[in-house]
Amino acid sequence: MSFLIKSLAGTLLFAILSFTVHHVTSEADESAAAVFYPAGLKSSEAAGRSFHNPKASTNKTTASAFQEFVEQLEAARTAAAAMPGYTALLEMQEEVGGDLRPVDHIEFKMRREPFSVYMRWTDSEQEALYVDGENDNRLIVKPTKGLAAFRRVWRLDPDSRMAKQTCRYAITDAGIEKLVIRIQAFYARPNLVGVAECIKEQLSVSRNNLTVFEVRFLDEAAVPEYSGSRFCFDGDTDLLIAVDNYGWSEDGKPRLIEHYYYDQIEILPEPTEDVFDEANPEYQFVAR
């Protein structure tokens, strides 16, 4: 599934935004967009499609696709809400303070009630844990790098500047369902379809069914937050599994500002308490 999504994202980026991913960041940057463009797919059929040449594709565009996108978001929200909990591998990259951060690969565990999130960064082994209603509603962090690592555990307000210094959103907004809710709120704006182009594709790759929507905004004044976005839904489960959001730039090139990809999603039918317990022996919050 991982190779599938990366292949798909790479080809469709060129099709909708009319730029290769190498325009997103410099070659020195380790960006998810660069990782998402495997060699050998640059000349695929999808790469030749464009909003400026709609006859080259049989995909639904603009008004009809936009309405289907709104309906797909609601289906994705229902699918996410139906999971009591799940584990996944999260690939995340965000622009913070004007700089595009390196790609993070995170072991992700989530429980819906009470809302709980555990995250472990696979490269640094830093850990974070949040359980609604416990630990005074504090985010527990086990840093492994820098001066912060001199203290074994930090207990932070999830919305504090320190807790969000390397991310755009608080951990209380983490997870697939919260991501869908955030997107729904954005696209609930009136008359948004009038300043956007939308295209839908139904794809079947490596026995996986995917529904992909790409949105490009036409007016920065009307939509200053984003210049375009790509959303990938699992065609079998309706889950939203990948999102790329792009910002405006002075040279008109796409600027990646948010990238989220949930891979290897496994439902936890009945998440046990120890999964979200800081004393879990598999975690490093408690000295042993």
Tokens representing 21 are: 């991913």
Whether 188 shows a pLDDT value over 90: the answer reads yes
Whether 271 shows a pLDDT value over 60: the answer reads yes
Predicted local confidence at residue 1, as pLDDT: 53
Chain center to CA of 116:
18
- Res. 48 pLDDT band, cuts 50 70 90: very low
Is the bond leading into 114 cis (omega within 30 degrees of zero)? yes
Please state, in angstroms and rounded to a whole number, the distance separating the CA atoms of residues 207 and 71: 24
68-94 b/e with 16+ CB inside 10 Å = b?
Answer: ebbebbebbbebbeebebbbbbbbbbb
Q: Is 275 helix (H, G, I), strand (E, B) or coil?
A: helix
- Res. 14 pLDDT band, cuts 50 70 90: very low
Residue 204: Cβ-neighbour burial (10 angstroms; 0-12, 13-18, 19+): exposed
Q: How many residues does the chain have?
A: 288
- Average pLDDT over all residues of the chain: 81
- Res. 144 pLDDT band, cuts 50 70 90: confident
pLDDT in tens, 228-262: 999 999 999 999 999 999 999 999 888 999 999 99
Whether 27 shows a pLDDT value over 70: the answer reads no
Residue with the larger pLDDT of the pair 191 and 256: 256
Please state, in angstroms and rounded to a whole number, the distance separating the CA atoms of residues 262 and 160: 26
Interacting residues of 112 by C-beta distance below 8 A, sequence separation 6+ = 81, 83, 84, 85, 177
Predicted local confidence at residue 60, as pLDDT: 56
Average pLDDT over residues 48-73: 63
HSE-up of residue 203 (Cα within 13 Å, Cβ side): 22
Interacting residues of 11 by C-beta distance below 8 A, sequence separation 6+ = 41, 42, 44, 46, 47
pLDDT in tens, 198-237: 999 988 877 789 999 999 999 999 999 999 999 999 999 9
Predicted local confidence at residue 147, as pLDDT: 64
pLDDT in tens, 83-131: 999 999 999 999 999 999 999 999 999 999 999 999 999 999 999 999 9
Whether 57 shows a pLDDT value over 90: the answer reads no
Predicted local confidence at residue 252, as pLDDT: 86
Residue with the larger pLDDT of the pair 112 and 152: 112
| CATH 2.60.120.380 describes domain 1-288 | no
Residue with the larger pLDDT of the pair 150 and 281: 281
Residue boundaries of the structural domains of the chain = 1-288
Contact 238, 73 (CB under 8 A): no
Chain center to CA of 216:
17
> First-to-last CA distance in the chain?
37
Predicted local confidence at residue 43, as pLDDT: 26
* Element spanning 85, H or E: strand 85-96
Predicted local confidence at residue 2, as pLDDT: 52
Query: What is the model's pTM?
Result: 0.80
Please state, in angstroms and rounded to a whole number, the distance separating the CA atoms of residues 95 and 260: 12
